[in-house]
């Protein structure tokens, strides 16, 4: 179902795939939203280019992943190992590349158990770095987050990598953002002549494999539309967000790993921002007939004049790595809806 998307990633990364010829890659978070796309695109590139790459994927539940993704799990170059990111046993032998993509942005965990969230993010990164040192890893990519910047000032429409802000260190809700900041610091301390560290500060995304039943607003709107019911906005619809399609995410992550500057951070996301109300309207237009939209709260004038924002500036990635957004938001929504409908028809 993803052949067209995977071919786009293959062609965009192009000759840079050759860096993985005969390579051995270790991936944490390989069975999550980001990880599935990294594995799908890696398996596709391996088959199409005959790379002979081997990947070892850390997961808490290999059997569950094999049951959910049997074709991907059966790729001959993939090995799945069980373990917790904070304490996993080190696989034997040398590895050339490490992608640390574990610890998704769980709003529930960050709210209910912020201490565990912080510990998982930081100790998972520390464990990955210790493994990188033992295994002789040459390049490491950390998937960080735009949460490292803290609340975005309303007057700053797009946050650049140089922005010096940060989360409130005394607020329990800052556990995820502060954990990612600490992880970046650990990576900076570990970087050196033997280890190149690259940082991807990721924002908001849409595409196949996106969970539709957790805290992602666009996922909830798509769920409502696919179910044939009205789209429900839980707030006032004024916060501004932007969404990147997953082929663009995969291209950017691979290119940052291969070509990003050492100890360099890059924002990863779309600059095409819109209000949550406008996001819901765009989702509604994806369906025929378009569902109605219900907004839980009427926005007050202050929210309209100075909305909350979570939008990156991506000039660094464009200028240093030649990266661009290839899939417009409307097309990203259409592809996501099409994939979910195809998936439903294939389920037993």
- The whole-number pLDDT of residue 105 equals 57
Burial annotation 243-265 (CB, 10 A radius, 16+ → b, else e)? bbbbbbbbbbbbbbbbebeebbb
Write out pLDDT tens, residues 180-211.
999 999 999 999 999 999 999 999 999 999 99
pLDDT at 256 over 80: yes
Pairing of strands 78-82, 196-202: unpaired
| Percent of the chain at pLDDT exceeding 70 | 97
Does 46 have pLDDT greater than 80?
A: yes
What single-letter DSSP state applies at residue 312?
B
Domain positions in the chain: 3-206+244-271+309-326
Which residue would you say has higher pLDDT here, 87 or 216? 87
**Residues 113-118: contacts with CB under 8 Å, at least 24 apart:** 114/172, 114/173, 114/174, 114/175, 114/176, 115/175, 117/175, 117/176, 117/179, 118/175, 118/176, 118/178, 118/179, 118/182
φ, ψ of residue 270 to 5 degrees: the values are -100, 145
* pTM of structure: 0.96
What is the reported pLDDT for 346?
Answer: 65
Residue 87 has pLDDT above 70, yes or no: yes
Is the model's pLDDT at 279 over the cut of 80? yes
Q: Which residues pair with 310 in a beta bridge?
A: 241
Across the range 323-328, mean pLDDT stands at 98
Reply yes or no on domain 3-206+244-271+309-326 having CATH 3.30.499.10.
no
Quote the CA–CA distance of 125 and 128 in Å, as a whole number.
Answer: 5
The whole-number pLDDT of residue 304 equals 86
Q: What pLDDT score does 213 carry?
A: 85
Q: Is the pLDDT of residue 292 over 90?
A: yes
Query: If you average pLDDT over every residue of the chain, what do you get?
Result: 95
Q: What is the mean pLDDT of residues 256-266?
A: 98
**Which residue has better confidence, 213 or 109?**
213
| Contacts for 335 with CB less than 8 Å, ≥ 6 apart | 5, 207, 208, 245, 327
Instruction: Find the helix or strand (DSSP H, E) in which 41 lies.
Output: helix 33-49
DSSP code of residue 147: G
How much is the pLDDT for 303?
83
Interval 146-153 mean pLDDT:
96
Judged by phi (left if over 0) then psi (alpha if -120 to 50, else beta), residue 84 lies in beta
pLDDT for 298-318, tens place per residue? 998 888 889 999 999 999 999
Look at residue 108 in the predicted model and tell me its pLDDT. 72
């Amino acid at each position: 179902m993803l052949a067209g998307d995977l071919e786009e990633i293959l062609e965009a990364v192009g000759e840079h795939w050759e860096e993985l010829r005969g390579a051995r890659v270790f991936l944490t978070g390989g069975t999550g939203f980001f990880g599935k796309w990294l594995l799908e695109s890696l398996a596709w590139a391996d088959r199409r280019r005959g790379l002979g790459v081997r990947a070892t994927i850390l997961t808490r539940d290999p059997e569950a992943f094999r049951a959910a993704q049997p074709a991907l799990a059966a790729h001959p170059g993939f090995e799945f190992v069980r373990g917790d990111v904070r304490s996993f046993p080190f696989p034997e032998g040398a590895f050339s590349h490490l992608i640390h993509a574990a610890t998704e942005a769980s709003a529930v965990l960050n709210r209910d158990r912020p201490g565990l969230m912080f510990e998982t993010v930081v100790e998972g990164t520390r464990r990955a770095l210790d493994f990188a040192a033992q295994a002789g890893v040459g390049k490491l990519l950390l998937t960080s987050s735009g949460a490292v910047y803290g609340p975005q000032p309303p007057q700053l429409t797009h946050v650049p990598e140089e922005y010096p802000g940060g989360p409130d260190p005394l607020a329990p809700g800052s556990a995820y953002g502060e954990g990612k900041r600490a992880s970046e610091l650990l990576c900076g301390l570990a970087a050196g002549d033997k280890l190149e560290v690259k940082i991807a500060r990721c924002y908001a995304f849409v595409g196949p494999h996106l969970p539709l039943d957790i805290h992602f607003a666009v996922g909830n709107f798509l769920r409502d539309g696919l179910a044939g019911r009205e789209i429900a906005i839980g707030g006032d619809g004024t916060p501004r967000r932007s969404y990147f399609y997953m082929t663009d995410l995969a291209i950017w992550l691979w290119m940052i790993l291969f070509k990003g500057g050492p100890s360099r951070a890059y924002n990863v996301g779309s600059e095409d921002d819109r209000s949550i109300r406008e996001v819901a309207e765009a989702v509604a237009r994806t369906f025929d007939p378009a569902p109605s939209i219900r907004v839980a709260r009427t926005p007050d004038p202050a929210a309209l004049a100075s909305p909350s924002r979570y939008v990156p500036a991506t000039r660094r990635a464009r200028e240093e790595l030649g990266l661009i957004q290839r899939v417009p938001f409307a097309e990203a929504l259409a592809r996501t809806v099409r994939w979910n409908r195809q998936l439903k028809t294939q389920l037993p």
